[in-house]
Amino acid sequence: MSEPGPVGEFGLIDWIRARTRVGGRTSLGIGDDCAALRVTTGADLLATTDMLMDGTHFRLDEAGPEAVGRKAIGVNLSDIAAMAGRPLAALVAVALPKGRAVELAQGVLAGMGPLAQRYGVDLVGGDTNAWDGPFVIAVTLLGETTPDGAVRRSGARPGDAIVVTGPLGGSLLGRHLDPRPRIDEALSINRRARPHAMIDVSDGLAADLGHILAESGGLGATLDADTIPIHPDAEALSRRDGRTPLEHALHDGEDFELCLTLDPADAEDLLARPPAGVTLHRIGVVDAGPGLRLATGGGLVPIEPRGYDHLG
Ligand SMILES: [Mg+2]
């Protein structure tokens, strides 16, 4: 006989509470008015949140609750990675369609489990509501800086090398539901080379590099078309929709690789001797003047910094 499911909101909360870890950095977890965490003296607390809505960011009937849970924590972990931070704890708020509330909550939690465990994230609180609307989930992730400091978007300098950690494009074929947050990669890169600026590729390479350039005082960049690593999914998608694999690599979102800029000498050293488990591709250079350009065999072509517009 299978274990009976939890009944009602408080039954569900008890069920969740029994499956969450307390200890380590969490002095007080689920069950009080707030959670209490121990943070490292001298570190900055990092905080990020992301809301995902059925019909906009995923289709629940196609993806299932486990994949949604994995994605919801994964996108937040990717933002902590983009700062070269260490994740600590998550708060999860959900609006659950009435009638399926308990089953969905259990699925979401099961989907989050492996990534949370892998990166030492404690679930320390949240909010569960049921309503007549679609499924919505918001994860808030807390982390902290290491002694190497946080890497911001705003530090790029003219002449910096632009580097990405992996192949891009075509995530809609499935990778968008399975983020591989580059936490370990970001920490080892920051320890070795202190990048000037970093971001995770969520809106698309052109758009996210555009965010770095804008935050760094209106700089520009030239990308070398031949060096941009293209994911096999971008090739596959190109055969379906006729857009080139390079267009997919430049403009598709949700690759969750890191894009960073750093001193060209540091880039050379990093690429010659990459930290264990880290792949790096040098794809271009930061320019003093504004605008994003692509260097091809035929010369320089402007790149539109279009990407996913969340309010579009
Ligand atoms: Mg981000």
Cite the beta strand spans of 35-85 per DSSP E.
36-37, 45-53
Mean pLDDT (the chain, rounded): 93
CA distance 237 to 254: 15
Between the CA of 234 and the centroid of ligand 1 the distance, in Å, is 21
Specify the pairing of strand 26-28 against strand 45-53. Answer: unpaired
Q: Encoding tokens for residue 272?
A: 């010659």
User: What mean pLDDT is predicted for residues 231-254?
Assistant: 95
pLDDT for residue 7 is more than 70: yes
Q: Please give the pLDDT value at position 113.
A: 92
Q: What is the pLDDT of residues 46-70, one digit of tens each?
A: 999 999 999 999 999 999 999 999 9
Cα dihedral sign for 235, 298, 197, 209? negative
Between the CA of 113 and the centroid of ligand 1 the distance, in Å, is 22
3-class DSSP state of 159 = coil
Q: What is the pLDDT of residues 102-158, one digit of tens each?
A: 999 999 999 999 999 999 999 999 999 999 999 999 999 999 999 999 999 999 999
Q: Please give the pLDDT value at position 112.
A: 95
Q: Please give the pLDDT value at position 304.
A: 81
Between the CA of 253 and the centroid of ligand 1 the distance, in Å, is 11
Between the CA of 14 and the centroid of ligand 1 the distance, in Å, is 33
pLDDT for residue 312 is more than 60: no
Rounded to the nearest 5 percent, the helix, strand and coil shares of the chain are: 35, 30, 35
Between the CA of 254 and the centroid of ligand 1 the distance, in Å, is 10
Q: Please give the pLDDT value at position 155.
A: 97
pLDDT for residue 4 is more than 80: no
- Name 251's bridge partners: none
Q: Is the CB of residue 158 less than 8 Å from the CB of residue 286? A: yes
Q: Is the CB of residue 121 less than 8 Å from the CB of residue 141? A: yes
Between the CA of 199 and the centroid of ligand 1 the distance, in Å, is 6
Residue given tokens 């935050």 in the structure block:
215
Closest to 221 in 3D by CA, of 230, 208, 231: 208
What's the chain's length in residues? Answer: 312
Report DSSP state, residue 76: H
Closest to 71 in 3D by CA, of 211, 260, 253: 253
Q: Encoding tokens for residue 100?
A: 């399926």
Q: What is the pLDDT of residues 251-264, one digit of tens each?
A: 999 999 999 999 99
Q: Please give the pLDDT value at position 295.
A: 97
Q: Please give the pLDDT value at position 1.
A: 42
Protein residues within 5 Å, CB atom, of ion ligand 1: 79, 82, 200, 202
CA distance 295 to 285: 11
pLDDT for residue 35 is more than 60: yes
Between the CA of 99 and the centroid of ligand 1 the distance, in Å, is 34
Q: Is the CB of residue 111 less than 8 Å from the CB of residue 122? A: no
pLDDT for residue 310 is more than 70: no
- The answer for residues whose C-beta is within 8 angstroms of residue 162's C-beta and 6 or more apart is 209, 221, 223, 259, 260, 261, 282, 283, 284, 285, 286
Between the CA of 25 and the centroid of ligand 1 the distance, in Å, is 25
